Structure 1
C-alpha cells in the first residue's frame, strides 16, 4: 500500500511524500541508556520515502536480522521549503506534528558501528518509519511543549517531553536546513527518549501525543 500523509481526521494532506530526516541523541536519558557520547551538534541521518508507512497498520519486522527496537519520536511534517533558515522562521514552515517510530535493527546497528560502517541497513529499510496522522500546527499551542508516550502490552515503555530535548524543534529544523534542504512533504523525526527495547510478534502498542490523539497498532 502506498503511503500518504493524513491529518488527524483521516483526510489526505495535499503534500508529496518526501524524505525523512532523523535526529539521534536529542534526549540526555537516551544517550545515557546506550552509553553514547553527547553530541556537540545534532546527529543527523536519513530514511528514504519508502521507509514511511501508516503506524495504524500492523508493523512488520525484518526476519533473521536480530532484534528490532522501538524508538518513539515527535514527527514534524514540513509544509514550506527550509534552506539556511534561522530558528525564528522555522515554526511557520511546519504543517503539523504527529508521532513516528524509528524502527532500529539494534544487533545489526551494533555490528555496523563496530566496523565503522554506515547505519542505513539497520535504520533505513523499507517501512522502518511508521508514522501517525498529523495534528495541524494551528491546533497546537506550542510545538516545543509537547509530551508523548509509548505503551507496549499495557506497560509504559517510553515517555518523552519536548522541553527535555537538547535542541528544540525549531532549533533542529534550522540546523538541518544548513545541511539538507527541507522540502514540503518531508518528515523530521526529532529524537527518542529512554525506554528503547525489542519488539516481538503479537506485541500491542499504544502511541499517545499529549491530549491530541492516541493510536494503537500491533506487530505481526
Structure 2
C-alpha cells in the first residue's frame, strides 16, 4: 500500500478535475447525495485536505470551514469539518488526520488567545473513534458527562448552523431526507468493533446513522488537549504559522 501525501488547499483554488475526483470518490461511499449538493457544500468551506498517492491520484479529502462567533460574551473560533472520505485501500493510514491536526495548530497560531473548537458531525463509527485517538477530552463521550457550558456551546453552534434539523435533546442532526449517508456495504460495523465502548456509545447516541443522521461532537483544539502524537503535530503547525501550512500544492 503506497503512502499518501496530505496537502492543505484553498477551496477556491481547487481545479475542476480535483473537484470532480472528489465527488466521484464521495459518491462511491455515500448515497443520498448529488454533485450539485456536494459542490454547494464544498463552496461553503475555505480549505480542503487533499490526499494523493505517488501517482498523484486523489485518494481522500476533507473540507474545512473556519469562523468566529460570540459565546456568552466572549469570542470563540470554530473549525468545522465537512465531507470527509478516504479510499478503503488506504484505511489505516493517518495522512488525513496528521495533515488536519498540523493545520489546526496553524489556525490556532492566528489567534492564540481565542479558544478554538472542532465542530464535528459524525456519520460513522470510524470518524467518532478519531476523537479518542487524538484528543484527551471531547464531547459527547462514553466515559464522562458533558459539562453544561460545552453542551450550551454545541447547541448554539448546531442551532445557528442547522436550525430546526438539530435536536438539542439528542444532540443529533436529522434531515427529513438524507443529505448523504454511508452506502450499505460501508455502513456495516464488524462485531469486533461493536464491542468497543466508544462504538457502542456512538450507536446508542446515533442509531439513525445508517440513514444519514449525524452526532454533533465538540473538542477544544489546544496544546494541552492533544494526545502525545497529536500534540507534536499541533505544535509543529502552530510554530510554522498558517501561510506555511497552506503553501503546499497538490497540482
TM range (shorter): under 0.3
Which structure shows the higher helix fraction?
2
Give 1 or 2 for the bigger CA radius of gyration: 2
Going by fraction, where is strand more abundant, 1 or 2? 1
Q: Relative contact order (alpha carbons < 8 A, sep ≥ 6): 1 or 2 greater?
A: 1
TM-score, normalized by length of structure 1? Answer: 0.25
Q: TM-score, normalised by structure 2?
A: 0.23
